[in-house]
């Protein structure tokens, strides 16, 4: 059954104390979380919300993921997840059933989306016997800018609409201990340690030989893409470029079709070979990042997964018309402690100014930077642990 049509959920058994107290503390693992997500123009928002829902279920919670377009879950999470119920936000009958069902204890409004008014009203009017409205979280976008630490956990009173009288709480993911941290499964590092690169590449039918550099490409349409392909084709070190499906594949194919010097690109005798990948599940996307010597990523979800991979990485930030993404990228490079070569490469890759794309590397220095950043992140509490802690504090009236 495709995840988009999943309607099953883990059977929850609550102690008698739950009905008497109506508190999350007494509910233990019977907490109901409703996560609301809208797919805008890519799948990063859905990727983050699906990971969060699955981690909640693994922690013994029950999660309902409301999404206006769940079709990407067919390839992102083909096996679904026990304990996670996926509901099509555009299905009026599903909304009607949810309004008639038990209200959630925690409502997560992801990335500024607006849940259906009927569902907000059901949450706001939850009787004490059901635990009442416990916590309304506004899960924000990821940034390394200083304002994140100032706004994280701040209250936002609701003055109108069906939720009037309630208070939302801003929750900002981030890279420092003063933020909400990043999503990380408890066994992530152990799974990565056991990963067999050669076996995975063979299973994916990706030809690879010892000594061939592996580079993953997950991007939009970076201005310097043609320059990167030309550089890799001319490099004496052989490279196999693993191109993800969708926009990245179309961008590479367009560059090759429009190449002024096709002899320097794949098929012309250069050092670059290209493998075009199918859409990968979240698990296999992690495997892709673990397998590669250099990872090009984009957006938010893939950036976080590339950081956990600990390999050299280049981030294409989501472009904004007012160039606000320039400030956001530089703030992240500052936190990363990026050496000059990595900073210059990022600027050119993201179209800052007119400087040409420098050759990638030295990868040893980039790798040291990535692993030092990962070590700092591993020393901090992950996002789910911090989110559950905040909810407990809100319920206990201590935040």
- For the chain, state the CA radius of gyration: 23
The pairing of strands 239-243 and 213-217 is parallel
What distance in Å separates the CA atoms of residue 307 and residue 287, rounded to the nearest whole number? 13
Annotated catalytic residue, options 45, 61, 130, 301: 45
DSSP one-letter code for 110: E
Nearest to 8 by CA among 48, 49, 57: 57
- What is the SS3 assignment for 103? coil
Annotated catalytic residue, options 130, 286, 300, 301: 300
Q: In the chain, helix, strand, coil percent, each to 5?
A: 45, 15, 40
How many other C-beta atoms can be found within 10 angstroms of the C-beta atom of residue 100?
8
Nearest to 83 by CA among 55, 102, 106, 111: 55
Residue 235 a catalytic site member: no
How many other C-beta atoms can be found within 10 angstroms of the C-beta atom of residue 355?
11
The answer to whether the beta carbons of residues 136 and 373 sit under 8 Å apart is no
Kindly list the distances between the CA atom of residue 305 and the CA atoms of 59, 204, 283, 288, 309, in Å, as whole numbers in the listed order.
20, 20, 10, 10, 6
Residue 45 a catalytic site member: yes
Report, as residue numbers or ranges, the catalytic residues.
45, 300
């Amino acid at each position: 059954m495709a995840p988009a049509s999943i309607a099953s959920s883990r059977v929850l058994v609550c102690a008698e104390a739950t009905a008497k107290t109506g508190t999350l503390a007494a509910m233990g693992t019977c907490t109901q979380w409703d996560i609301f997500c809208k797919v805008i123009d890519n799948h990063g928002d859905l990727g983050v919300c699906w990971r969060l829902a699955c981690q909640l279920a693994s922690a013994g919670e029950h999660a309902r993921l409301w999404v206006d377009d769940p079709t990407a879950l067919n390839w992102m999470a083909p096996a679904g997840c026990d304990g996670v119920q996926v509901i099509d936000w555009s299905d009026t009958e599903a909304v009607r059933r949810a309004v008639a069902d038990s209200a959630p204890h925690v409502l997560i409004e992801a990335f500024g989306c607006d849940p259906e008014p009927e569902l907000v009203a059901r949450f706001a009017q939850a009787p004490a016997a059901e635990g009442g409205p416990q916590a309304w979280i506004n899960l924000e976008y990821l940034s390394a800018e200083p304002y994140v630490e100032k706004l994280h956990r701040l209250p936002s009173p609701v003055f109108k609409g069906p939720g009037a009288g309630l208070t939302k709480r801003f929750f900002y993911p981030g890279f420092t201990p003063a933020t909400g941290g990043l999503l990380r499964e408890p066994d992530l590092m152990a799974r990565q340690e056991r990963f067999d690169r050669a076996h995975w590449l063979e299973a994916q039918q990706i030809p690879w030989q010892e000594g061939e550099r592996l580079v993953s490409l997950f991007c939009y349409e970076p201005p310097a893409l043609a320059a990167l392909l030309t550089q890799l084709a001319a490099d004496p070190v052989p490279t196999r470029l693993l191109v993800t499906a969708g926009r990245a594949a179309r961008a590479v194919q367009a560059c090759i079709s429009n190449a002024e010097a096709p002899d320097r690109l794949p098929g012309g005798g250069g050092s670059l070979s290209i493998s075009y990948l199918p859409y990968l599940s979240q698990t296999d996307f992690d495997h892709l990042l673990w397998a590669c010597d250099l990872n090009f990523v984009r957006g938010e979800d893939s950036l976080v997964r590339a950081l956990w991979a600990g390999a050299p990485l280049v981030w294409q930030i989501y472009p904004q018309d007012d160039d606000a993404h320039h400030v956001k990228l530089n703030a992240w490079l500052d936190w990363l402690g990026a050496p000059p070569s990595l900073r210059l490469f990022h600027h050119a890759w993201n179209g800052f100014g007119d400087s040409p794309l420098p050759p990638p590397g030295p990868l040893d220095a980039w790798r040291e930077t990535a692993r030092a950043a990962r070590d700092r992140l591993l020393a901090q509490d992950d996002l789910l642990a911090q989110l559950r802690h905040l909810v407990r504090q809100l319920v206990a009236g201590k935040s």
